[in-house]
C-alpha cells in the first residue's frame, strides 16, 4: 500500500517545484515474537522470547515485553543495558528520535539490539499498515509520535492475544511523560514510569542504583539556599553570542585548582582567546569539556591565574561558606601584566558529559543512601549519587554518570553505572585508564568480524592483478623483540649497472579493509593501536594484525612497495610504487640484525642486504641532519615482568642500536616519497602530517637552562637549534647533552594530521622536511590506510570512492585521528606510571641519583636516568615548618635556606610509593643530597604515607 504526500516548494530562483513524498505501508512486518504463527517468522535477526520468564515484577506478574518511549531510551540507557532487562520492543519512531537527539545513545541501542542474548527487537511501526498514523491538524510532531507509540502498544496487545490466549502475554508501556502515561491508561494500555517498573523488580534491587534522576527541580533538596545563578535559555545565549554580549567556548577545568577554569573561545578573535573563571559561582555548574557561553567582566574585575594548588577534599558536601574562604586565597596581589580576561558562565550550549571512573566517598551518616563519588580525573567535580550498596562499593573503582546539577546543590547529581573491581588491581586499573582516555577497547563486534577473509587464506590469481610478484627478493623485517604486528620489511641489492635497488615493503592492509564497511568504520573510529605495558589494544582484528597483514617470515604476504634506485652516495635516481606479493626471508630483532651486520663470519644474502641498508642509512641520516633535522631525546622505559605474577621486577631505559636508526631512516624516506606522490596527484585532498615550528617563547626555559651552564642554544631555525645542541657538551658532565635534548623535546609543538586542501603550511619542523605523511604502519594507524588508498588510486592499482576526495570529510577524519593519537599517548604514559608504582610498591624505598629538569616556586622537577623516571620534590609539606625559599625566574633558580638549585644540577633523591590516597597513588620523592637541615631526609627514615599504607592494607 502506498501513501503519498504532495506539496509545492519555492526555489531560490523564484520558481515553484512540486515535491511528492511516497511512504510505503506493508502487512508482512513481523511482531518479533518467536513462534508467532500469524507472522510466520516474517522477521529475521534477534527476536523476542515466546515465554519471557526473566522478571518477577510485583506490578505485572504476567509474562510481558517492555516498550519504552524516546525519553526512557535516552535517559535510562544504563538500566536498559543491564543483563536483567530483556525482551524489549524498540519502535522505529523511538529509534529515529533517539538518532536525531543523541548519536552515542543511538550507537549503544544498536549494540544492544544486535546482542542476541538481550532479545531486543526493532519494530518498523512507521511502515506497518496497522500501526502507521498520519499527523492530525493542530497536532505537533511530538504529540503525533506519542500517539504513534500508544497505537503500536495497543496493536501489540491485540496481536499477542491471538498468539497466546492461554498464557496472556502482554506489552507494558514504559514512559516518564505524565500526560502520555495518563492518556495510555485512559486507552486501557498498561503503563508505568521507569522508576515504578524498576522498583517492582524485587529480585534485582541493584537496578534502582542505575536509574537516572531526571527532573532537576525534583532533586532540589527542600529549604536549601540557591548557590548558583540560573542558566539562560539557548535562544537568549544564541542572541547574545550573535550580538557579541557573550562569548562561546570550551570549558577547561583545572587539575590543580577546583575553583578555577579557563574557557577557550571559539573563532579567530586573538584578543580574548582564553578567559579565566574563578570561584564556584562564576564556574556556574559547567563541567570539563562543556561548550559554554561566557560573559566577560570589565577590566577592573580581571584576575591573574592562581599559583595555588587546591583540591576539593571537603567531606561536608554543602559547606559553601568554606568555599568562599578558599576563593579569597586565590586573590593574590599581582602586577597588571599578569591580569587575564576574566568572566563567568551564563549558560550551557552543549553538555559533553561522559561516564566517569572513580571511587565512592562513603557518607559518615549511618544507613545513608546518599554518598559522594570522587572521579579519578581531578578536573571533574564530585558527584552525589544514591546507592544501597555503599559498603560493597567502598574501596572499589566504579563508573558513575551525571544526570543534572540543581541550582541549590554544591555538587551535580548522578547515578551508579558499573562496578569495575578493586582499586589497585591490575586488570581494574587498566580498564580505568582505557575508559578515562576514551580508548575504544571492546571486543570487535560480529558485524566487524564478518568482513574478515575466510580461513585458510592464500593469494589468488585475482589478488595478483595490478600487483608485482617480488617473492624472489631477499626481503627481511627488523622489529623490537616480541613484535607480532610486523608492518614493514626491507631489501637492498646491487643492480647490473652498479647502482643499488632499495625497497620498503609495507603490509597491504587496504586490500583487506574496504572503504565504508563495518571493519573500515571501526578501524577509523579506533584510529590507532594502543600499546600499554602489558597489553595491546588493536586497531584491526588479530587475524589481520598478527597474521594475514603481518609480514612474517617464510609466508606469502601482500604488500605495498616503495622501490628506489640509488647510487652509493644514497642519491635517489628513480622512485616507483607498486602493489606487490612478497615472502620475507627473516624476521629479526634489532639486536639480531646488529649482530649480523657486525659479524665477521656471516656473509649470506640477508646480512649483505642489511649491511647495504645500514651504510645507506648512515648517509641519509647525515644528509637529514645537515638540513636541520632534530635529534631529540626522551627517556623510554622498559619493564621486565615476573613470568608468573606479571608484576614488574625490573625497570630500565630502552637501549637504542644502529639498526633502530637504519629502519627509521628508510621509513622516513618512504613517508616523504609517498607524501610527494599523493600531493602531486591530489593537491586538494592528500592526507599529510605537519609539525609546526614552536613559538620563540617555548624555548625560553631551554635557553636559560643552557646559559646557567655557560652554553649557548640558538633557536632562530631548526638547523641552528640542531647545531647548537650538537655543540653543547661538557667533558666533565657527559649526561648534560641528553638532558638538553630531553628539555628541547618539551619545547616542541604536537605533530598533527591535516588535509592538504585545508592548510597552506605543510612543513615538518622536527624532520626539516617540506612535506611528510604516514605510510609505513597501516596495521596500527588508520591515517596510513587512507594514504595507501590515495597512493593506490594515484598509480592506478585501485579505484577511488567519494569520501576519499571530499576534503571536508578528510578534515573531520584528521580531527578524530589527532584526538585518538593524543589519547593513546596519554594512556601509554598512564600505563607506565601505574607499572612504575607497582615496581616501587614491591621495591620499597630506594635512593638514586637525579638531575633537575625544572625549578618551581616551591619544588624541583627531577629526572632519574636509571629508571627514566620523572618526579617532583616538594619543599613545603603539611605539618612541617616551611623552609626559607627564594625563587628567581630569570636564571631560573631556587634557593632553599642557603643552598641554590639550578636546572641540570645533580641531586640524590629518595623514591617511595605514597598510598595515603588510594585513588591517586603517586611516586613521592624527597631530597637526600645535598644535605639541608630540616629539608633533606635520612634514607632510613620512613615517613607518614608508608604508615598510612600499612593501615589501609590491614
Supply 503's cell numbers.
625497497
Res. 23 pLDDT band, cuts 50 70 90: confident
Q: Determine the Cα–Cα distance for residues 299 and 275; give it in Å rounded to an integer.
A: 12
Res. 646 pLDDT band, cuts 50 70 90: low
Supply 425's cell numbers.
588491581
Cα–Cα separations (whole angstroms), residue 431 to 255, 263, 358, 441, 830: 21, 30, 12, 9, 12
Contact predicate 383/206, CB 8 Å = no
Q: What is the CATH number of the domain that holds 941?
A: 2.40.50.140
Question: Which of the listed residues 207, 227, 255 is the one where a domain comes to its end?
Answer: 207
Predicted local confidence at residue 313, as pLDDT: 62
3-state class (DSSP) for residue 365? coil
Note whether 180 and 221 are same-domain residues. no
Of 762, 718, 139, 786, nearest to 513 by C-alpha is 786
Contact predicate 429/834, CB 8 Å = yes
Of 401, 396, 403, 398, nearest to 423 by C-alpha is 396
Long-range contacts of 354-357 (CB under 8 A, 24+ apart): 354/438, 355/399, 355/400, 355/401, 355/417, 355/418, 355/435, 356/380, 356/383, 356/399, 356/400, 356/401, 356/402, 357/397, 357/398, 357/399, 357/420, 357/432, 357/435, 357/436
Helix (H) or strand (E) holding 247: strand 246-253
Question: Which of the listed residues 207, 241, 275 is the one where a domain comes to its end?
Answer: 207
Contact predicate 229/284, CB 8 Å = yes
Predicted local confidence at residue 942, as pLDDT: 43
Among the ranges given (1-5, 134-138, 372-376), the one the predictor scored with the smallest mean pLDDT: 1-5
**For residue 551, how many other CB atoms are within 10 A of its CB?**
26
Supply 369's cell numbers.
543512601
Q: Is residue 141 part of a domain?
A: yes
**Mind listing the pLDDT tens digit for each residue in 668-701?**
999 999 999 999 999 999 999 999 988 888 888 8
Contact predicate 309/378, CB 8 Å = no
Note whether 344 and 460 are same-domain residues. no
Res. 953 pLDDT band, cuts 50 70 90: very low
**Mind listing the pLDDT tens digit for each residue in 407-455?**
888 899 999 998 999 888 888 989 999 998 989 999 998 889 999 999 8
Q: Which domain does 896 fall in, by range?
A: 844-948
Q: Is residue 232 part of a domain?
A: yes
Supply 93's cell numbers.
519512531
Q: Is residue 516 part of a domain?
A: yes
Predicted local confidence at residue 272, as pLDDT: 62
Note whether 171 and 217 are same-domain residues. no
- Answer yes or no: is pLDDT of 335 > 70: no
Q: Please name the residue ranges forming H helices in 505-645.
A: 509-512, 518-526, 542, 590-598, 605-627
- Answer yes or no: is pLDDT of 811 > 80: yes
Predicted local confidence at residue 802, as pLDDT: 87
Contact predicate 182/173, CB 8 Å = no
Res. 220 pLDDT band, cuts 50 70 90: very low
Note whether 230 and 302 are same-domain residues. yes
Mean pLDDT of 244-255: 90
Q: Is residue 893 part of a domain?
A: yes
Q: Is residue 367 part of a domain?
A: yes
What's this model's pTM, rounded to 2 decimal places? 0.80
**Mind listing the pLDDT tens digit for each residue in 267-286?**
766 566 889 998 889 999 99
Cα-flanking dihedrals φ and ψ of residue 666, to 5°?
-75, -30
**Mind listing the pLDDT tens digit for each residue in 868-925?**
788 888 887 766 777 788 888 777 888 888 888 888 888 999 888 887 776 777 788 8
Predicted local confidence at residue 329, as pLDDT: 57
Exposed e or buried b per residue across 800-834, where buried means at least 16 C-beta atoms within 10 angstroms of its C-beta: eeebbebeeebbebbeebbebbebbeebbebbbbb
Res. 474 pLDDT band, cuts 50 70 90: very high
Note whether 539 and 552 are same-domain residues. yes
Note whether 162 and 225 are same-domain residues. no
Note whether 469 and 595 are same-domain residues. yes
- With a pLDDT cut of 70, the percent of the chain lying above it is 88
Strand segments, DSSP code E, in 313-367 are 343-350, 356-361
Q: Is residue 711 part of a domain?
A: no
Mean pLDDT of 480-498: 92
Note whether 239 and 306 are same-domain residues. yes
- Answer yes or no: is pLDDT of 36 > 80: no
Q: Is residue 953 part of a domain?
A: no
**Mind listing the pLDDT tens digit for each residue in 147-186?**
999 999 999 988 888 776 565 788 999 999 999 999 999 9
Question: Which of the listed residues 187, 207, 227 is the one where a domain comes to its end?
Answer: 207
Note whether 505 and 613 are same-domain residues. yes
Note whether 286 and 322 are same-domain residues. yes
DSSP 8-state class, residue 337: G
Mean pLDDT of 628-645: 65
Among the ranges given (540-549, 636-645, 735-744), the one the predictor scored with the smallest mean pLDDT: 636-645
Exposed e or buried b per residue across 930-940, where buried means at least 16 C-beta atoms within 10 angstroms of its C-beta: eeeeebbbeee
End-to-end CA distance of the chain: 73
- Answer yes or no: is pLDDT of 944 > 60: no
DSSP bridge partners of 404: 413
Q: Determine the Cα–Cα distance for residues 808 and 757; give it in Å rounded to an integer.
A: 9
- Answer yes or no: is pLDDT of 216 > 70: no
Note whether 163 and 179 are same-domain residues. yes
Q: Which one is predicted more confidently, 781 or 4?
A: 781
- Answer yes or no: is pLDDT of 943 > 60: no
Note whether 58 and 150 are same-domain residues. yes
- Answer yes or no: is pLDDT of 320 > 70: no
Q: What is the CATH number of the domain that holds 105?
A: 3.40.50.1010
Supply 514's cell numbers.
574496504
Contact predicate 552/486, CB 8 Å = yes
Report the domain count for the chain. Answer: 4
Mean pLDDT of 392-398: 88
Strand segments, DSSP code E, in 533-604 are 536-537, 556-566, 572-583, 586-589
Contact predicate 281/227, CB 8 Å = yes
Q: Is residue 723 part of a domain?
A: no
Average of per-residue pLDDT values in the chain: 85
Q: What is the CATH number of the domain that holds 225?
A: 2.40.50.690
Strand segments, DSSP code E, in 139-211 are 170-174, 191-192
Supply 479's cell numbers.
622489529
Predicted local confidence at residue 391, as pLDDT: 83
**For residue 353, how many other CB atoms are within 10 A of its CB?**
16
Amino acid at each position: 500500500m502506498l501513501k503519498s504526500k504532495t506539496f509545492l516548494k519555492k526555489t531560490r530562483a523564484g520558481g515553484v517545484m512540486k515535491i511528492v513524498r511516497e511512504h510505503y505501508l506493508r502487512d508482512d512486518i513481523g511482531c518479533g515474537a518467536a513462534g508467532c504463527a500469524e507472522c510466520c517468522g516474517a522477521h529475521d535477526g534477534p527476536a523476542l522470547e515466546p515465554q519471557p520468564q526473566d522478571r518477577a515484577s510485583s506490578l505485572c506478574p504476567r509474562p510481558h515485553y517492555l516498550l519504552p518511549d524516546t525519553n526512557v531510551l535516552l535517559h535510562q540507557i544504563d538500566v536498559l543495558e543491564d543483563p536483567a532487562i530483556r525482551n524489549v520492543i524498540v519502535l522505529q519512531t523511538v529509534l529515529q528520535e533517539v538518532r536525531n537527539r543523541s548519536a552515542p545513545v543511538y550507537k549503544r541501542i544498536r549494540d544492544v539490539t544486535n546482542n542476541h542474548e538481550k532479545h531486543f527487537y526493532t519494530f518498523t511501526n512507521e511502515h506497518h499498515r496497522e500501526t502507521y498514523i498520519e499527523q492530525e491538524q493542530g497536532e505537533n510532531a511530538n504529540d503525533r509520535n506519542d500517539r504513534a507509540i500508544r497505537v503500536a502498544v495497543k496493536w501489540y496487545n491485540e496481536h499477542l492475544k491471538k498468539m497466546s490466549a492461554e498464557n496472556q502475554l502482554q506489552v507494558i508501556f514504559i514512559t516518564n511523560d505524565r500526560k502520555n502515561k495518563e492518556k495510555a491508561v485512559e486507552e486501557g494500555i498498561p503503563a508505568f514510569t521507569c522508576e515504578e517498573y524498576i522498583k517492582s523488580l524485587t529480585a534485582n534491587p541493584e537496578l534502582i542504583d542505575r536509574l537516572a534522576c531526571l527532573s532537576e527541580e525534583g532533586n532540589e533538596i527542600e529549604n536549601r539556599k540557591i548557590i548558583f545563578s540560573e542558566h539562560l535559555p539557548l535562544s537568549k545565549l544564541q542572541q547574545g553570542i550573535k550580538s557579541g554580549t557573550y562569548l562561546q567556548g570550551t570549558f577547561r577545568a583545572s587539575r590543580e585548582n577546583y575553583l578555577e577554569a579557563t574557557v577557550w573561545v571559539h573563532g579567530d578573535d586573538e584578543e580574548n582567546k582564553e578567559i579565566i573563571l574563578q570561584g564556584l559561582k562564576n564556574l556556574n555548574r559547567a563541567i570539563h569539556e562543556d561548550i559554554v557561553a561566557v560573559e566577560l567582566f570589565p577590566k577592573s574585575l580581571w584576575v591573574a591565574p592562581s599559583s595555588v594548588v587546591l583540591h576539593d577534599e571537603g567531606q561536608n558536601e554543602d559547606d559553601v561558606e568554606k568555599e568562599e574562604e578558599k576563593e579569597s586565597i586565590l586573590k593574590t596581589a599581582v602586577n597588571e601584566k599578569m591580569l587575564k580576561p576574566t568572566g563567568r558562565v551564563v549558560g550551557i550550549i552543549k553538555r559533553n558529559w561522559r561516564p566517569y571512573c572513580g571511587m565512592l566517598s562513603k557518607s559518615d551518616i549511618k544507613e545513608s543512601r546518599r554518598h559522594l563519588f570522587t572521579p579519578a580525573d581531578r578536573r571533574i567535580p564530585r558527584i552525589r549519587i544514591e546507592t544501597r550498596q555503599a559498603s560493597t562499593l567502598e574501596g572499589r573503582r566504579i563508573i558513575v554518570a551525571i544526570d543534572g546539577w540543581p541550582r541549590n546543590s554544591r555538587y551535580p547529581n548522578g547515578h551508579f553505572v558499573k562496578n569495575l573491581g578493586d582499586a589497585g588491581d591490575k586488570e581494574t586499573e587498566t580498564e580505568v585508564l582505557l575508559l578515562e582516555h576514551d580508548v575504544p577497547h571492546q571486543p570487535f563486534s560480529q558485524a566487524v568480524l564478518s568482513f574478515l577473509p575466510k580461513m585458510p587464506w592464500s593469494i589468488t590469481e585475482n589478488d595478483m592483478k595490478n600487483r608485482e610478484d617480488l617473492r624472489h627478493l631477499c626481503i627481511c623485517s627488523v622489529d623490537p623483540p616480541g613484535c607480532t604486528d610486523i608492518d614493514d620489511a626491507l631489501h637492498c641489492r646491487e643492480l647490473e649497472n652498479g647502482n643499488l635497488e632499495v625497497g620498503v615493503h609495507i603490509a597491504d592492509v587496504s586490500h583487506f579493509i574496504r572503504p565504508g564497511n563495518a571493519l573500515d568504520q571501526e578501524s577509523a573510529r579506533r584510529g590507532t593501536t594502543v600499546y600499554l605495558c602489558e597489553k595491546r589494544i588493536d586497531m584491526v582484528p588479530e587475524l589481520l594484525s598478527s597474521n594475514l597483514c603481518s609480514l612474517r617470515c617464510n609466508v606469502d604476504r601482500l604488500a605495498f612497495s616503495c622501490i628506489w634506485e640509488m647510487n652509493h652516495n644514497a642519491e635517489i635516481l628513480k622512485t616507483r610504487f607498486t602493489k606487490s606479493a612478497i615472502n620475507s626471508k627473516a624476521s629479526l630483532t634489532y639486536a639480531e640484525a646488529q649482530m649480523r651486520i657486525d659479524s665477521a663470519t656471516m656473509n649470506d644474502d640477508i646480512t649483505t642486504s642489511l649491511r647495504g641498508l645500514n651504510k645507506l642509512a648512515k648517509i641519509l641520516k647525515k644528509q637529514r641532519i645537515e638540513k636541520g633535522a632534530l635529534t631529540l631525546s626522551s627517556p623510554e622505559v622498559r619493564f621486565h615482568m615476573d613470568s608468573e605474577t606479571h608484576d614488574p621486577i625490573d625497570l630500565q631505559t630502552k637501549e637504542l642500536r644502529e639498526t633502530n636508526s637504519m629502519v627509521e631512516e628508510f621509513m622516513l624516506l618512504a613517508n616523504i616519497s609517498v607524501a610527494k606522490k599523493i600531493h602531486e596527484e591530489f593537491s586538494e585532498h592528500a592526507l599529510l602530517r605537519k609539525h609546526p615550528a614552536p613559538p620563540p617563547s617555548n624555548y625560553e626555559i631551554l635557553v636559560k637552562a643552557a646559559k646557567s651552564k655557560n652554553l649557548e642554544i640558538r633557536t632562530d631555525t631548526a638547523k641552528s637549534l640542531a647545531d647548537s645542541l650538537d655543540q653543547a657538551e661538557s667533558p666533565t658532565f657527559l649526561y648534560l647533552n641528553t638532558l638538553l635534548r630531553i628539555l628541547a623535546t618539551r619545547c616542541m609543538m604536537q605533530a598533527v594530521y591535516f588535509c592538504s586542501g585545508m592548510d597552506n603550511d605543510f612543513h615538518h619542523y622536527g624532520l626539516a622536511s617540506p612535506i611528510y605523511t604516514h605510510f609505513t604502519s597501516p596495521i596500527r594507524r588508520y591515517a596510513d590506510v587512507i594514504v595507501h588508498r590515495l597512493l593506490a588510486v594515484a598509480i592506478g592499482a585501485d579505484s577511488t570512492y567519494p569520501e576519499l576526495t571530499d576534503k571536508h570529510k578528510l578534515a573531520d577524519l584528521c580531527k578524530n585521528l589527532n584526538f585518538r593519537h593524543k589519547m593513546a599517548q596519554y594512556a601509554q604514559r598512564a600505563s607506565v606510571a601505574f607499572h612504575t608504582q607497582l615496581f616501587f610498591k614491591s621495591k620499597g624505598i630506594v635512593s638514586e641519583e637525579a638531575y633537575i629538569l625544572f625549578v618551581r616556586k616551591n619544588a624541583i622537577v627531577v629526572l632519574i636516568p636509571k629508571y627514566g623516571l620523572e618526579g617532583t620534590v616538594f619543599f613545603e609539606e603539611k605539618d612541617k615548618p616551611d623552609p626559607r625559599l627564594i625563587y628567581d625566574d630569570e636564571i631560573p633558580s631556587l634557593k632553599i635556606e642557603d643552598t641554590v638549585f639550578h636546572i641540570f644540577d645533580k641531586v640524590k633523591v629518595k623514591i617511595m610509593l605514597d598510598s595515603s590516597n588510594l585513588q591517586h597513588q603517586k611516586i613521592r620523592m624527597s631530597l637526600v643530597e645535598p644535605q639541608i637541615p630540616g629539608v633533606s631526609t635520612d634514607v632510613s627514615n620512613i615517613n607518614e604515607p608508608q604508615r598510612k599504607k600499612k593501615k589501609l592494607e590491614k
